[in-house]
A and B are shown apart, each in its own frame.
Chain A
């Protein structure tokens, strides 16, 4: 065996090692997000350069080029994914700090939640149906504004594809995070509670992440909206599904 062959063998072994350990794709996930974060900053913090979208694009390109499957990727990335749970529990911290304000605004919150939640489900299904989407796609699309685990559960219950729903939920989150600031500026809604709550209903945790970047109070209301809308969507979608 010559030296070149040895080196190739070693590289193969190295690749096998990297594919088996979570380290590589965990590092890649943080690296891709760091690139997204850097580009977001470089664009002057513009919401149109979304760090999640950039990170996903970088990672998908990397996985396709290296011929790596999603399951292998997720073995590493699951450690980041897991933190979604603790982060949700942590929403109690800003919620506690702003508790008096939240209690005072209970009625506007519930009114906005009810109207917003119905709008999210009905408008998505109506537009997609009008443009000829398949029934399976419509059922996967209906719960798209709820947070990922809930939306997947709802989709499964009504005959949608849970993993397609997960993707649509994330895209919904990214769209909301990108458009919320210019849209609400245009509508002249200046109140942080109203702004945060709106993006939380429409775009769950990714909307809340965007809201926390802008203002603590907006983030708090987005977190509450995410939790409440998860609950209401789980009730609404099975009721509305007869029309789909």
Chain B
């Protein structure tokens, strides 16, 4: 377990350091994901401990957004005066983006014959 957590933090740290040093506009942890992917490809398997950590953290991923979300309290005044444009924009744009992205993905996949019928359930 210690090794798994250490590997995780080292990947993130490497990502943060490289991003800050180079000014690439991606988050350090996203770069860290690629380092971890490289390490897993070299190992050719996912170590059990890492698997356990991933199971716990990824199944409660939404908890991790709560502290940032509470920041909504800082913007009550603006949301009160501009609630209609804000909520309408967020709802319309999110729904439209989900629909358009899924349909383009599905359409291109079918045109290329990459469709997997057994997955339909």
Question: Counting CB contacts under 8 A, is A3 at the interface?
Answer: no
Q: Is A234 a contact of B92 with CB atoms below 8 Å?
A: no
Q: Is A107 a contact of B112 with CB atoms below 8 Å?
A: yes
Q: Is B88 a contact of A128 with CB atoms below 8 Å?
A: yes
Contacts of A73 in B (CB 8 A): 67, 70
Contacts of A144 in B (CB 8 A): 90, 93
Question: Counting CB contacts under 8 A, is B21 at the interface?
Answer: no
Per-residue A-contact encoding for B80-121, CB less than 8 Å = 1, 0 else = 001011101111111111111111111011001011100110
Contacts of A78 in B (CB 8 A): 67
Point out which of A123, A173, A212 has the most chain B C-beta atoms below 10 A from its C-beta.
A123
**In angstroms, how far is the closest chain B Cβ from the Cβ of A201?**
5
Contacts of A148 in B (CB 8 A): 65, 68
Question: Counting CB contacts under 8 A, is A149 at the interface?
Answer: yes
With contact pairs A88-B27, A144-B90, A234-B26 given, residues A97 and B46 touching in the complex (Cβ less than 8 Å): yes
State the majority secondary structure of interface residues on B: helix
Question: Counting CB contacts under 8 A, is A95 at the interface?
Answer: yes
How extensive is the interface on chain A, given as a class? 35 or more
Q: Is B62 a contact of A201 with CB atoms below 8 Å?
A: no
Per-residue B-contact encoding for A117-131, CB less than 8 Å = 1, 0 else = 001100111011111
Q: Is B66 a contact of A93 with CB atoms below 8 Å?
A: no
Task: State A206–B61 Cα separation when bound (angstroms).
Answer: 7
Task: State A160–B49 Cα separation when bound (angstroms).
Answer: 42
Task: State A120–B90 Cα separation when bound (angstroms).
Answer: 9
Task: State A232–B116 Cα separation when bound (angstroms).
Answer: 28
Question: Counting CB contacts under 8 A, is A1 at the interface?
Answer: no
Q: Is B72 a contact of A198 with CB atoms below 8 Å?
A: no
Number of B positions contacting A (CB below 8 A): 79
The chain A residue with its CB closest to the CB of B96 is A123
Q: Is A81 a contact of B64 with CB atoms below 8 Å?
A: yes
Question: Counting CB contacts under 8 A, is B54 at the interface?
Answer: yes
Contacts of A39 in B (CB 8 A): none
The chain B residue with its CB closest to the CB of A210 is B62
Q: Is B33 a contact of A95 with CB atoms below 8 Å?
A: yes
With contact pairs A89-B12, A212-B61 given, residues A131 and B92 touching in the complex (Cβ less than 8 Å): no
Question: Which B residues fall within an 8 A CB radius of A?
Answer: 5, 8-9, 11-12, 15-16, 25-30, 32-37, 39-41, 46, 50-51, 53-54, 57-75, 78-79, 82, 84-86, 88-106, 108-109, 112, 114-116, 119-120
30 contacts across the A-B interface (CB closer than 8 A) = A29-B63, A55-B69, A63-B70, A78-B67, A83-B57, A86-B8, A87-B61, A87-B64, A88-B27, A90-B54, A90-B57, A96-B46, A97-B46, A104-B114, A107-B112, A111-B105, A112-B105, A115-B100, A116-B100, A124-B90, A133-B89, A137-B86, A166-B68, A183-B99, A191-B116, A194-B102, A194-B105, A198-B97, A205-B65, A234-B26
